[in-house]
Structure 1
Amino acid sequence: MKIKGTQLIALVMAVLTLASCGGKADSANDSTKNTDSGKTVSSEGGETSNEEEKPDTDEKPSEISDEKSEKDEKEIIPPSVEFSQASGVYPAGLEISLTAAEEGDIYYTTDGSDPTTSETAVKYENAIAVSDRKNDPNVVSAVDPLLIAGNFNEPNSEKNGFVSTVSAPADSAVDKCTSIRAAVKRADGSFGGIANASYFIGTPEEHIKGLAESCKAAGHDLAVISLSMEYDDLFDSTKGIYVKGDLFDADMEKFLSSKRSRIKDAEQARQMDANYKQRGKEWERRASVSFMEFGTDGAEEKFSQDCGIRIQGNYSRSDLQKGLRLYARKEYGGSNFRYAVFGEDYLNDAGEVMDKFDTLVLRAGGNCAFTAKFNDTYWQSLVHESACDTKHSRPCVVYLNGEYWGLYVLEEDYSNDFFEDVHGVDKSQVVVYKGDAETYKSGYKLDEGEVPDGKPENYYLADLNSFFAMHKDASSDEDYAALCELADPQSVMDYFAIECWINNKWDWPGKNWSMWRTIEKDPDNPYADGRFRFMLYDVEFGGVSGKSDASTNTIREDNYKPKGLLDMGTNNPAVLCFAYMMTNEGFRNEFYDRIQGLSENEFEKTAALAKLQAFEDEYSPLYDQFFERYPDTGSTENAVSGGYASIQCIRDFLEERADNIDRLVKYCEKNLS
């Protein structure tokens, strides 16, 4: 074992830290009849559903379990209103009858607001007429983009504020449905739980352009989510989570007064504090969610329940279209979203279908939100069998308060429940560290789990940091074996091979890395061995510039340290795991085989290009409607074949990347042999 003389202080600190560790629907109700299958068949021969799949009645994921344990003790109030017709698509206007399952009066809203508190709530007396809303004016879509977005801004003429370079969409550019929220008001003034339903009048393809082409390419229906919530919870300047709001105005005033300065460039709009940058339960808002599978012959609702909603992401929070995280909680009526959202073929380590999720993420696309959108999820889809965790996903069209809100990527969330559901570990034993060198002085934060009282945030990294402080390298088999007891070498190898092969270098590895472990060991579960493993996410910069990225030596040019990923003069524990393991000849040779093998296996050109074409065929038919909803932000042509972050960029990158991987290997050999 070799000790770095220059790291004596780090060694002392590490020792001190260790010492301190103690139904498809297409017709109106009057033309249906029951069938033995539980569905209904219209007089015109189409299927409709009269069933609903019932669920069991941050931004920091680590908050989820703690908040749930506290909230789950509260009384669960299930919905007590039934709709005469299930959510879905109907060929003509219809009337919806509401029935109370308990004594009391029914109150309902059609503007997304909470029927238990809203001033617009109406006492139900007669059937609710539902008609085609295509000529209705926009409401949520009419909000000025300047109030929502930090991008698409430029300084105003006085240099003391901003103007938007884009405008809100025309009424005709926003498709619409009717969303109803209803609840029973009891004699004592209390309310039952909120029920909700969404109705589309016409044909599925009249509502979602490109639906037929997308479904044909995918081989299954399209996910559609209808969200209903209070307008002010989104757009109010004080409490709205989707706007710049009062926090932006206050930060702007402080900037202009304290520095006696003026706005110089558009980027400053993103840098200002804002409502949409806030995190935690305080900035979670209640909503109703209806999840439907849309096909050319109708739509079938798979689950409907209330949930919590927060803004999702980091830098992208300031985008015009924002990511959303959906939280299932017992306090809202269901602790999970119960449905095989990502298909029956998605199995956990025990071979069980993944049909239970405590959180779901609607990702706008990150840095590719207004280009191809699926860049991140495409790369992840190629490496689901690797030794690092990946997310499953699918395209999803979202409606907000009855208005088309855009195309999203619906994906899993790396919460503690994810590791329990996928790997069978005890979620209370999971800790996750997440990197963000721009935000945190240490370069990372504890994103999941809690340290014991009085212990530092890097408490669970103590053994790993101690190893780095006490060892000059891991060249000896003894030292390498000791490091492998702390971090899974196969996970380290796969993670860095994948990130380097796809050249995901712009934010990474200073940001967008995460690694997890269990606190205690369970000899019956190989994933509960206390070793750190890596998770893949936010890899949309892979091949983002096309051919020019294909020749990049990502190990050297990672934009992080002079010696790139081999530089041990860093406090980034993720990079140090790789840099130290690369000093071991055995690991190094296996890494060379792995990264070169990616060119012949997971990223083999013909197969990878075919998968890319499949993604294009599934997503691109949905682009036109998206860019009509968000005018002047981009175009289908640019998303498919533009010069940056387009589908063509990934295609050009794949054409040449494999031919350049040997350069990475030779660079390592030159510096390490």
Structure 2
Amino acid sequence: MQWRRPHGDLPSAIVNWFSVRNADGTISQPRQHTHYPTDHGGLTVLSLTAHPGAWADPDTGLLVVGHGIFNAPQKVANYYANDPRWWKYPGNFHGRGKEWQRRGHMELIAPDGKLLLEASVGVRINGQMTRGFPQHAFRLLFDDPVDVPLFPDGDGPGTMALILRPAGNDQVKAMLRDAYQHGLCRELPFETSRSLTCVTYLNGAYWGVHHLRQRMDEHEIARRYGIKAKKVALLEDRARPVNADTSGSLAFMRLVVGTERWDGRSPSWIDTLHQRMDVDGILTYMASQMILGNMDWPRQNVK
């Protein structure tokens, strides 16, 4: 892994757990409270806690190489064998699925100290090759839909999953480009992911600046359009289905093949295409990617 020693002393937080004894003698559910004595320059704070073994244990820790190299799926092992770059090195952080989900608890605290959100979450490592980067992105899965605003424009109620990411490929460079570009494109006719910049603490340890992002999955699309998630088919890269259902991919490929056969000189061709595709949206999306100079597209990072 690529690692650099931090500059200077890092702040730390104190995470307290407490319960309240009610007048009738019953004990309330445990609550978490994070106290941090440091001013963070007006940034929101996200405190994420879990059992210590969830982070650094060689067998169960999400953040370490650990024993993952001995248990790596053949696909992951082949990535490194065929192209031995440091971010492809097998490790626990390449683990996927429920087996590599840990229970955690998060607090989202406003710059003025007000508690914005407290919730139990499932925690996984998120991403593709950035899993091998110095700082990993977390996928935060809620047991119930979030019922409070999360982002500056008030969006957030109904959210089932968020991504806490240190800017992906950009984490050792500008560390803001993806979130900034999504903000620039927010009013355009294609889907973007809102962002909240926050200082992260992991079990009270300072974990740096991260971006809290909306996870663009079928549940998020369904939330935005008021439909059922099972009605949403997500495809990525070369029309590969994100989940196991291949019906959406087949329908999309039929549209592609049919378009190649239609007579482009006919007005009916344009009408049919507009009926089946958001033409303005796809053209604006493609133009935006080109103008912003996305060098890691369109062969990948398409959804």
Task: Place the TM-score, normalised by the shorter chain, in its bin.
Answer: 0.7 to 0.9
Structure 2 CA distance for partners of 1:180 and 1:460, relative to 1, 3 Å:
farther
Q: Is the 8 A contact 1:328 1:336 kept in 2?
A: yes
- Residue 102 (structure 2) aligns with: 285
Q: Is the 8 A contact 1:340 1:356 kept in 2?
A: no
Distance 1:194 1:485 in 2: 53
- Residue 488 (structure 1) aligns with: 278
Of 64, 68, 91 in structure 2, the residue corresponding to residue 243 of structure 1 is: 64
Letter aligned with residue 490 of structure 1:
D
Superposed CA offset, 1:578-600 (max 9, x none): xxxxxxxxxxxxxxxxxxxxxxx
Structure 2 CA distance for partners of 1:444 and 1:459, relative to 1, 3 Å:
closer
Structure 2 CA distance for partners of 1:494 and 1:469, relative to 1, 3 Å:
closer
Superposed CA offset, 1:431-454 (max 9, x none): 11011xxxxxxx342125x53xxx
Give the length in aligned residue pairs. Answer: 294
Letter aligned with residue 327 of structure 1:
L
Q: Is the 8 A contact 2:87 2:130 kept in 1?
A: no
Question: Unmatched 5+ residue regions in structure 1?
Answer: 1-148, 153-164, 185-190, 216-221, 330-334, 347-352, 436-442, 515-673
Letter aligned with residue 341 of structure 1:
L
- Tell me, yes or no, if structure 1 residue 223 matches structure 2 residue 44: yes
Please give the secondary structure, in 2, of the residue aligned with 1:511: coil
- Tell me, yes or no, if structure 1 residue 500 matches structure 2 residue 293: no
- Tell me, yes or no, if structure 1 residue 512 matches structure 2 residue 291: no
Please give the secondary structure, in 1, of the residue aligned with 2:62: coil
Distance 1:483 1:371 in 2: 41
Structure 1 residue 192, shift from structure 2 partner: 7.6
Distance 2:101 2:19 in 1: 22
Letter aligned with residue 182 of structure 2:
Q
- Identity rate, percent: 22
Q: Is the 8 A contact 2:58 2:64 kept in 1?
A: yes
Structure 2 CA distance for partners of 1:318 and 1:485, relative to 1, 3 Å:
same
Structure 1 residue 194, shift from structure 2 partner: 4.1
Distance 1:387 1:309 in 2: 32
Structure 1 residue 475, shift from structure 2 partner: 4.1
- Residue 410 (structure 1) aligns with: 212
Structure 2 CA distance for partners of 1:468 and 1:405, relative to 1, 3 Å:
same
Please give the secondary structure, in 1, of the residue aligned with 2:175: coil
- Tell me, yes or no, if structure 1 residue 463 matches structure 2 residue 254: yes
- Residue 341 (structure 1) aligns with: 150
Of 310, 316, 321 in structure 1, the residue corresponding to residue 130 of structure 2 is: 316
Please give the secondary structure, in 1, of the residue aligned with 2:234: strand
- Tell me, yes or no, if structure 1 residue 173 matches structure 2 residue 6: no
Q: What are the equivalent positions in structure 2 for 1:32-51 lying under 5 Å apart?
A: none
- Residue 394 (structure 1) aligns with: 196
Superposed CA offset, 1:368-423 (max 9, x none): 10222110111121121111011111211000111110101111111223223222
Structure 1 residue 250, shift from structure 2 partner: 5.6
Q: Is the 8 A contact 1:474 1:483 kept in 2?
A: no
Of 350, 361, 368 in structure 1, the residue corresponding to residue 170 of structure 2 is: 368
Please give the secondary structure, in 1, of the residue aligned with 2:85: helix
Of 110, 127, 139 in structure 2, the residue corresponding to residue 325 of structure 1 is: 139
Structure 2 CA distance for partners of 1:249 and 1:385, relative to 1, 3 Å:
same
- Residue 24 (structure 2) aligns with: none
Superposition CA RMSD, Å: 3.0
Please give the secondary structure, in 2, of the residue aligned with 1:245: coil
- Residue 648 (structure 1) aligns with: none
- How high is the TM-score relative to the length of structure 2? 0.85
- Tell me, yes or no, if structure 1 residue 356 matches structure 2 residue 158: yes
- Residue 155 (structure 1) aligns with: none
Please give the secondary structure, in 1, of the residue aligned with 2:111: strand
Q: Is the 8 A contact 1:445 1:457 kept in 2?
A: no
- Residue 531 (structure 1) aligns with: none
Letter aligned with residue 227 of structure 1:
L
Q: Is the 8 A contact 1:196 1:305 kept in 2?
A: no
Distance 2:285 2:300 in 1: 14
Structure 2 CA distance for partners of 1:460 and 1:279, relative to 1, 3 Å:
farther
Distance 2:239 2:58 in 1: 31
Structure 1 residue 293, shift from structure 2 partner: 0.3
Superposed CA offset, 1:615-664 (max 9, x none): xxxxxxxxxxxxxxxxxxxxxxxxxxxxxxxxxxxxxxxxxxxxxxxxxx
Superposed CA offset, 1:532-591 (max 9, x none): xxxxxxxxxxxxxxxxxxxxxxxxxxxxxxxxxxxxxxxxxxxxxxxxxxxxxxxxxxxx
- Residue 301 (structure 1) aligns with: 115
Superposed CA offset, 1:307-359 (max 9, x none): 11111111111111111111111xxxxx023321112x34xxxxxx5433211
Distance 1:397 1:268 in 2: 29
Q: Is the 8 A contact 1:229 1:401 kept in 2?
A: yes
